[in-house]
Structures are given as structure tokens and as C-alpha cells.
Amino acid sequence: MARRLYAQNLPVFKDGLKTELGNITLPGEDKLADDLRRSHEEYTARAEVFWQTADLGERRAMYFGEMLPTFTRIKDLAQEIISINQDAMVKADRDARELSARSTRYMIVASALGMAAAIFFAVRLQRAILQPIQALTAVSKELGEGKLDQVVPVESQDELGQLADAFNKMATKLRSYRQVTSDQILQARQMTEITLSAFPDPILAFSPEGRITFTNPAANRLQRSLASNGAELPPTVLAQVEQLFKGAPDYLPESFEKAIVVRVNNQEKFLLPRVIGMRDEADRLFGAAVLLQDVTRFRLLDDVKSNLVSTVSHELKTPLTSVRMGLHLLLEERIGTLNAKQTELLSPLARNPSAS
């Protein structure tokens, strides 16, 4: 029974010893392994002698005197090797744990530093991107309100810098265009004012609120003359202006009967009002122009014509009546007989003496 157990475990121990001899990693482990190998060889050599000894007394003496001390030494050496390996494993585990803890701390610190650096650079990047955009937005609003003297600072050569440079060029062109346009508008306004100032008839411009926004010199003189007489603009004119702003068509009378009478410098003047709406390209009404055409001379000429026609008609009526009476006397043949041809010629003239 003992020999069978010995035979079963001997190969296992040899394999373990071979593995140990090929895996020496700790200081002093090589000496222990070598001692273990020699002790094992010594033990196996004595075991062969032990199994061949037939005398039980000798075998007992050999076992307790030689084999048991060797076996004990083998066990102690094996236990010592196991202990130093276990201690090394425990130390390695402890070192690994400490390294892991340090690594964890380093990772936490590195992560915190990385996050702080990321936040810092993100904020810097955000400012680097948003500040130019915000500046460009603010300048765009100012530009939209007509403040064309705005300039966006170009602080980089990237896309934002190129955008700011393009914006500044656009603002420069807009300023130049506004200057040219303003000069053209001013010149056109001056020409218009000069033209209207030279116009002999009064011209007034009204805003949609009914305020007078422009008057030429003739209109100024008319207003001063009316004010000196305690009068204002004729109500008819103001009423037509109000109707125009309410949607009525332009007021463009052609008959002298629509003329209004005002007293200027102790003289009566006949003014024919014309109210014209001022509209933009979208046909929106933004004002009204009033022209007070002086038709006094035309009105007098019309009266003269009417009187002349009446006088001429009256002066011609008497001789025509006499002629007609003479024709009737001839046709009645009181002063002599008429032939057929004479009667035929005189009959139409008697019925309509004006045909002659």
C-alpha cells in the first residue's frame, strides 16, 4: 500500500520539481530549488534501498534514521519555496494594487486636468468664434439702421477674418454709394425747388397728416396776403386735400366755374385749384401737391368775350330785322311783281335771313 502511494506521487513531485527548476524568478529561490533537487535525489536513492531491504528492523531504522529526516527537509524546502512565492505574489498583488491606486489617482488628476484644459480651450475657442460673430451682428444691425461708418476689426486671416474684411469692403462701397446718391438727391431737390420757385402760380405740398411741407415763393406771398386779411387757405382746397388722402381721385377741374375767389392786395383773384396725389413706385400715397392756377386774366377774357358776343348779337339783330321785313314786302309784291326765279331766291332768305 505505501509503495503504491509512493509510486503514484513520485511522478507528480518530479513534474512539480521540474517546473520549479525551470521557473526560478526570486532571489534565493535557485539555492532552495537546488537543495530540494539534491534532497529528492537522495530520498529516492534511499527509498530504493529501503524497498529492497527485507528485514523490518533495518527498514524501520532506515526510515526513521535516514528517510524521515530527508523527507522532512524536502517538505520544509518545498514549503519555503511555496512561502517565498506566496510572499512574492502577495507583494506583487500589493504592489499592483498600489500601482492601480496610483494609476487611478493619476488618471483622475489627468482627467480633471484634461477636462479643465478642454473647458479652457473650449471657452477660448468659443470666444474666438462668437466674439467676431457677435461684433459682426452688432455692426450689421447698425448698418441696417443707416449707420454706414461701422468697421469690423479684422483680427485673423481665417474665414471669420475674410468675412469681416468683405463686410468692411461692402460698408465702404455702401458709404460711397450713399454719398453719390445723396449728392444726386440733393441736386435733384435743388433743381426741383428752383423750378418750383420760378413757377408763377402758388404750389403747396401736404403730408398725409395735413401739414404743409413745402411752399414756393408764390404760395408764401399768397399765404402772407391771406393772413393779413385774417383768412387762411380756402376751405375748398383743404377739403379736396382731405378727400384725396381718404382715397378720392386727383382733383383736376377744367372749367373756370370751379375757380375760387380770393382777395389779394385788395384785388379779387380767381384761382383754379388742382390737387394731385404724390405716390411712390408701389403706388402708395405719401403726400399731395396743390397747384392754385391764377385764371383771373382768363376769367376776365371770358367775361369780355361773353359781353362782346352779346353786344354784337344785339347790334346785328336790328339790321337783320329790317332786312327780313324788306324781304317780306318784296315777297308780298306790294312794290311790284316778282317772277318765279326771284321768288325762289328770296323765299329761303325770308325764312332765315342769317343765311345771307
Return the domain boundaries, the chain.
Answer: 2-92, 148-198, 200-294, 304-355
Cell of 31: 539555492
Q: What are phi and psi of 180, to 5 degrees?
A: -65, -45
28 versus 332: the higher-pLDDT residue is 28
86-141 confidence digits (pLDDT tens) = 877 888 788 888 888 888 888 888 888 888 888 887 777 666 666 666 666 776 67
Pairing relationship of beta strands 260-264 and 285-294 according to DSSP bridges? unpaired
* Residue 10, C-beta contacts closer than 8 angstroms, at least 6 positions apart: 44
DSSP summary character for residue 334: S
pLDDT of residue 93: 81
Stated pTM of the model? 0.41
Of 271, 193, 199, 288, the residue nearest 231 (C-alpha): 271
pLDDT-derived band at 155 (thresholds 50, 70, 90) equals low
Average pLDDT value for the chain = 75
Give SS3 for 230.
Answer: coil
Three-state SS at 202: coil
Contact indicator for 32, 81 with CB cutoff of 8 Å: yes
CATH of 200-294 among 3.40.50.2000, 1.20.1530.20, 3.40.830.10, 3.30.450.20: 3.30.450.20
Sign of the C-alpha dihedral, residues 279, 280, 284, 287?
negative
Q: Smallest Cα–Cα separation from 203: which of 217, 191, 189?
A: 217
Q: What percent of the chain has pLDDT over 90?
A: 0
Comparing 236-240, 248-252, 270-274, 292-296, the range with the smallest average pLDDT is: 292-296
Chain segment 339-352, per-residue pLDDT in tens: 777 666 666 655 55
Please report which helix (H) or strand (E) contains residue 330, including its range.
Answer: helix 296-331
